[in-house]
Amino acid sequence: MPYYRSVGEVPRKRHTQFRQPDGSLYAEELMGQEGFSSDSSLLYHRHAPTAIVAAEEFTPPAFTRVPNLPLKPRHLRTHKLDGVGADPVLGRQYLLANDDVRIAYVLADRPSPLFRDATGDHCLYVESGTLRVESTFGVLDAVAGDYVVIPTSTIHRLVPTGDAPTRLLAVEAAGHIGPPKRYLSVRGQFLEHSPYCERDVRGPDAPLLVDDTDVEVLVRHRRGWTRYVYAHHPFDVVGWDGHMYPWAFSIHDFEPITGRIHQPPPVHQTFQGPNFVICSFVPRKVDYHPDAIPVPYNHHNVDSDEMLFYTGGNYEARRGSGIEQGSISLHPSGFTHGPQPGAAERSIGADFFDELAVMVDTFRPLDLCDAAQACEDDAYAWTWARRA
């Protein structure tokens, strides 16, 4: 995370004696990226965070990946995956994946188990409902429109908190997710041209102290999954400080960059990950050149697949193609895509677009997973060949 945060009790100097009321030492834990060479945080536990009493292999719900063949644009209707509900970790239905990123959807109506992903960061987008993110760093509450970034190896639990189930889009990276480097100074401050800044970012603001024993934690790691039993609950942290922690940012706080003519997707970039980017399309004034065509031109991103999750408003370029709330479009590299027939003409003279969407562009091809095949609209690829 770009800025320093301190929560709870911490000693004045790091790596020095910090004692509990009974005189024993708090157990210091450093969580850091890139082998002590990047962002980190120091956490102070009541008990040793290394104390496990059992470990066994765990088999998670399985999913398969198949190439996008024949190569064509796809339309996925995620709300067709609605079922009996699930927990927001093990209940994820995987849609698209490559070796850099997995994209899943879940309708969550119950708490997840305690979970740690040691393979990469997660970025969750709350489509609807509310979510409580409990972790060793404390509590973070999220509502519809929030992104929540959970750093690699953070032990956490996701708890839907509203009367209705919570809908989540989960982007799981094989590495780290953060603000684009071009938005940050050499010291990590958001720069003036960034479409959001430190004031828009929320993090945990108080410790979450739980005193249970023999606590199960599921861990995804580079060799598979393991179920650990910890001697003491990992939420025993009395304080922490540093630059690495779960944080939230609302898509409604993204300040769109506009121009006289159509602006390309990089102006919408919100996060970067390993070989992918995440962008936010928000309600905004559109192009004001007298001859402007506000919807995108036909384009062929020769190096990337483009996934777009429609989460509110009306997306002008896709009108007439069956796109609805919760839809996902996939436009792969190797296929030229653009607005639906008639969209360019209809957009002329518009001065405002009321649309909300999350885009993930990947620089390696995305495979289709089981859930994508289960909710695909097979007619989508042919909608450019007829007038809406």
> Is residue 353 pLDDT above 60, yes or no?
yes
CATH of 54-67+82-204+241-251, one of 2.60.120.10, 3.40.50.620, 1.10.490.10, 1.10.275.10: 2.60.120.10
Q: What is the pLDDT of residues 264-304, one digit of tens each?
A: 889 999 999 999 999 999 999 999 999 999 888 898 888 99
Strand order in the sheet with 305-313: 74-77, 327-331, 305-313, 355-362, 276-281, 269-273
- Cβ contact 265:162 at 8 Å: no
> Is residue 319 pLDDT above 80, yes or no?
no
Question: What is the mean pLDDT of the segment spanning 207-211?
Answer: 94
| C-alpha closest to that of 237 among 83, 6, 32, 35 | 6
What pLDDT score does 177 carry? 98
315 is in an annotated binding site: yes
Q: What is the pLDDT of residues 106-158, one digit of tens each?
A: 999 999 999 999 999 999 999 999 999 999 999 999 999 999 999 999 999 99
Distances (CA, A) of 261 to 196, 274, 291: 22, 30, 9
User: Pick the catalytic residue: 47, 79, 252, 262?
Assistant: 262
> Is residue 12 pLDDT above 80, yes or no?
yes
Question: What is the mean pLDDT of the segment spanning 33-49?
Answer: 95
> Is residue 246 pLDDT above 90, yes or no?
yes
Strand pairing category for 213-221 and 115-117: parallel
Its CATH class, for the domain covering 258-382, is: mainly beta
> Is residue 84 pLDDT above 60, yes or no?
yes
47 is in an annotated binding site: no
> Is residue 387 pLDDT above 60, yes or no?
no
> Is residue 388 pLDDT above 50, yes or no?
no
Lowest model confidence (mean pLDDT) among 22-26, 80-84, 86-90: 80-84
Mean pLDDT estimate for the chain: 94
337 is in an annotated binding site: yes
Q: Any idea where the domains of the chain sit in the sequence? A: 54-67+82-204+241-251, 258-382
Confidence of residue 169 (pLDDT cuts 50, 70, 90): very high
- Cβ contact 358:308 at 8 Å: yes
Question: Does 221 or 352 have the greater pLDDT score?
Answer: 221
Answer yes or no: 268 catalytic: no
Strand pairing category for 269-273 and 213-221: unpaired
Question: What is the mean pLDDT of the segment spanning 229-237?
Answer: 98
15 is in an annotated binding site: no
Query: For a pLDDT cut of 70, what percent of the chain falls above it?
Result: 98
Fold identical between 54-67+82-204+241-251 and 258-382?
A: yes
What pLDDT score does 297 carry? 87
> Is residue 103 pLDDT above 90, yes or no?
yes
Question: Does 146 or 349 have the greater pLDDT score?
Answer: 146
Question: What is the mean pLDDT of the segment spanning 196-219?
Answer: 96
8-state DSSP, 264: P
Distances (CA, A) of 304 to 24, 121, 336, 380: 54, 21, 12, 20
The length of the chain in residues reads 388
